[in-house]
């Protein structure tokens, strides 16, 4: 097969429960070595945000939370924990929808997602996990640390994606997307290129970092306890100018649903 | 590595330009054989809808289209081809947004997407390609034909996904999703299962067919001229009850954005 014909998605097992202050790059580096996968040119390391958030201490003890009137009322109406609702409201920059027990909110980062990205913790029922403060910085820091750990430089350094699972209007179920990106182009613009038949392609800006994150979820999935995956053999985004997860947030001027 | 640790995404090259009436299962079967990939237990064959639509004759000659007043006005305002706008309006069951030169519409199938799924044709600038009339039926028919071609029965028959690229509110770029599904569960419901730490997972229904479609796009991408990919080694959705692409459309009663 010619280059680019095949991509491998490799689940990295053996990552223990992550607590605040854990040296995440070391834990991930160890697991990559132990799995035998190693790192190769063009690898994209996808890490679920939950272990990034936990390592960064982005955990809220619900015992410390005093719910507002709004949180109390919404929680009572929809049979929710008012302390969790309060944390969601505090993480929200803007409420997009608040109905049927669900809160869709824009976060400080600009992501529009359920519960402003606040997740139940799998470590304790009395705490919740927030999104990383800056997922792009988290991705870049992890990338730097992996470069050092594996002695890599330049184009040999793997790209890193920090992922979360977001719902979508109109479609059921959640899918993994890229909230932090370092070392690859998150979008590839095929406009102006001719396709195989010679006609110019139109309206084809692909959110490839989101597609890579979704691909990774297939081996990372919830029950498997594999919060890290390597996507190997995907060259296209490496040939374009690297960007960040922020580039995947649609600008207000183009967004018909803001 | 243990089962489920690794998934391969294999691009299938060598599929010629598809014209109406082409025997698509034969073309795809031939390409799968010629590529050396073959078919294995658990394979998911992902096919971009464009070749399905073309084989089914879902092509509109713009020369036959008389634009309505609405199409003429919108096209003039945003510098678009009024005949293309007219086709979009005819494919729409409901207009969700119509602004800034973009039309987001609900199709007869229930999909909410740009231009009601009407695509520019790469075969001719004077024609456009519609979505398949029933992508689930298209997927099921292709699956049956592949079973016959390769002499497979029961669980050895590959699953088939017919894909399209959809935009998303709030996020830039388009991603591949599953519009037709046969032979796998499009959604996996992890609710009620305990995760690795023993806590019950919440709100975790994964749209795995969409994630598989996105994974496939990484090798099918626009310039590569590879409209078919095989996703190999993903077992999870095969263990659940098979469903259709229609299952991925959010019910009106749950949709906060309808």
Q: By the 8 A CB rule, do A230 and A10 touch?
A: yes
Contacts of A247 in chain B (CB under 8 A): 172
The pLDDT value given to residue B3: 46
Distance CA(A228)–CA(A26), nearest Å, equals 13
- Domain CATH for B33: 3.30.1330.100
The reply to whether A89 and A200 lie within a common domain is no
Q: Do B199 and A122 make contact, defined as CB atoms within 8 angstroms?
A: yes
Instruction: Say yes or no to pLDDT of A228 above 80.
Output: yes
User: What is the secondary structure of A42-82 as a DSSP string?
Assistant: T-EEEEEHHHHHHHTT-EEEGGG----HHHHHHHHHHT--H
- The 10s digit of each residue's pLDDT in A11-49 is 998 898 899 999 999 999 999 999 999 999 999 999 999
Instruction: Say yes or no to pLDDT of B126 above 80.
Output: yes
The reply to whether B172 and B85 lie within a common domain is no
- Pick the residue with more confidence: B100 or A3? B100
- The 10s digit of each residue's pLDDT in B82-95 is 999 999 999 999 99
Contacts of B247 in chain A (CB under 8 A): 172
The pLDDT value given to residue A152: 97
Match 């959010």 to its residue by tokens.
B250
Closest partner CB to B223 (pick from A104, A195, A250): A195
The pLDDT value given to residue B4: 53
Q: Any idea how long chain A is? A: 258
Nearest alpha carbon to residue A62 among A16, A134, A133, A123: A123
Nearest-by-CA chain A residue for B18: A197
Contacts of B249 in chain A (CB under 8 A): 170-172
> Binning pLDDT at 50, 70 and 90, where does residue A131 land?
very high
Closest partner CB to B10 (pick from A6, A169, A208): A6
- Inside any domain, residue A2: no
Contacts of B80 in chain A (CB under 8 A): none
Question: Which domain range does residue B153 map to?
Answer: 8-58+131-248
CB pairs under 8 A between A and B: 266
The reply to whether B64 and B166 lie within a common domain is no
- The 10s digit of each residue's pLDDT in A178-226 is 999 999 999 998 876 665 555 555 558 999 999 999 999 999 866 667 8
> Binning pLDDT at 50, 70 and 90, where does residue B1 land?
very low
Q: Do B255 and A169 make contact, defined as CB atoms within 8 angstroms?
A: yes
- The 10s digit of each residue's pLDDT in B189-241 is 887 666 555 555 555 899 999 999 999 999 986 666 789 999 999 987 777 89
Q: Do A202 and B120 make contact, defined as CB atoms within 8 angstroms?
A: yes
Average pLDDT over residues B134-155: 97
**Number of structural domains in chain B:** 2
B94, B122, B150 - which closes a domain: B122
Residue of A93, A187, A211, A257 to mutate, testing the B interface (most B Cβ within 10 Å of its Cβ): A211
> Binning pLDDT at 50, 70 and 90, where does residue A84 land?
very high
The pLDDT value given to residue A196: 55
Instruction: Say yes or no to pLDDT of A2 above 50.
Output: no
Contacts of B104 in chain A (CB under 8 A): 256
Q: Do B221 and A170 make contact, defined as CB atoms within 8 angstroms?
A: no
Q: Do A122 and B196 make contact, defined as CB atoms within 8 angstroms?
A: yes
- The 10s digit of each residue's pLDDT in A165-182 is 999 999 999 999 999 999
pTM for the whole thing?
0.95
Closest partner CB to A4 (pick from B188, B224, B254): B224
A80, A95, A129 - which closes a domain: A129
Of A254-258, B65-69, B228-232, least confident by mean pLDDT is A254-258
Percent of chain A with pLDDT over 90: 78
- Inside any domain, residue A1: no
The reply to whether A136 and A125 lie within a common domain is no
Contacts of A35 in chain B (CB under 8 A): 1
The chain-wide mean pLDDT, for chain B, equals 91
Q: By the 8 A CB rule, do B137 and A214 touch?
A: no
Which string of b and e fits B194-232 if b means at least 16 CB within 10 Å?
ebeeeeebeebebbbbbbbbbbbbbbbbbebbbbbbbbb
Contacts of B218 in chain A (CB under 8 A): 7, 208, 211-212, 215, 231, 234, 236
The pLDDT value given to residue B157: 96
The reply to whether B86 and B206 lie within a common domain is no
The pLDDT value given to residue A4: 53
Closest partner CB to B7 (pick from A9, A173, A175): A9
Q: Do B190 and A223 make contact, defined as CB atoms within 8 angstroms?
A: yes
- Inside any domain, residue B25: yes
Percent of chain B with pLDDT over 90: 78
A70, A96, A129 - which closes a domain: A129
Residue B140: CB atoms within 10 Å: 18
The reply to whether A143 and A46 lie within a common domain is yes
The pLDDT value given to residue B30: 97
The pLDDT value given to residue B196: 56
The pLDDT value given to residue B2: 47
What value of ipTM does the predicted structure carry? 0.94
The reply to whether B242 and B184 lie within a common domain is yes
Angstroms from B192 CA to nearest CA on chain A: 11
Distance CA(B136)–CA(B144), nearest Å, equals 12
The reply to whether A118 and A143 lie within a common domain is no
């Amino acid at each position: 097969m010619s280059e680019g014909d095949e991509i491998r998605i490799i689940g990295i097992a053996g990552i223990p429960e992550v607590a605040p202050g854990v040296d995440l790059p070391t834990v991930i580096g160890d697991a990559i070595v132990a799995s035998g996968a190693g790192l190769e040119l063009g690898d994209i390391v996808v890490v679920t945000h939950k272990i990034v958030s936990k390592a960064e201490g982005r955990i809220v003890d619900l015992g410390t939370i005093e719910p507002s009137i709004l949180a109390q009322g919404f929680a009572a109406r929809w049979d929710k924990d008012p302390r969790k609702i309060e944390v969601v409201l505090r993480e929200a920059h803007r409420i997009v929808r608040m109905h049927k027990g669900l809160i869709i909110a824009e976060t400080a980062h600009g992501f529009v997602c359920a519960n402003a990205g606040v997740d139940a913790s799998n470590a304790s029922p009395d705490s919740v996990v927030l999104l990383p403060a800056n997922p792009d910085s988290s991705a870049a820091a992890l990338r730097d640390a992996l470069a050092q750990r594996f002695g890599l430089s330049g184009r040999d350094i793997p790209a890193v994606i920090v992922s979360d699972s977001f719902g979508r209007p109109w479609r059921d179920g959640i899918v993994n997307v890229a909230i932090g990106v370092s070392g690859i182009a998150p979008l590839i613009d095929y406009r102006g290129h001719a396709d195989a038949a010679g006609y110019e392609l139109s309206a084809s800006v692909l959110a490839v970092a989101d597609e890579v994150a979704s691909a990774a979820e297939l081996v990372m999935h919830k029950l498997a306890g594999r919060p890290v995956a390597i996507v190997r053999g995907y060259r296209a985004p490496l040939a374009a100018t690297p960007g960040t997860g922020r580039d995947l947030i649609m600008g207000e001027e183009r967004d018909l649903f803001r």
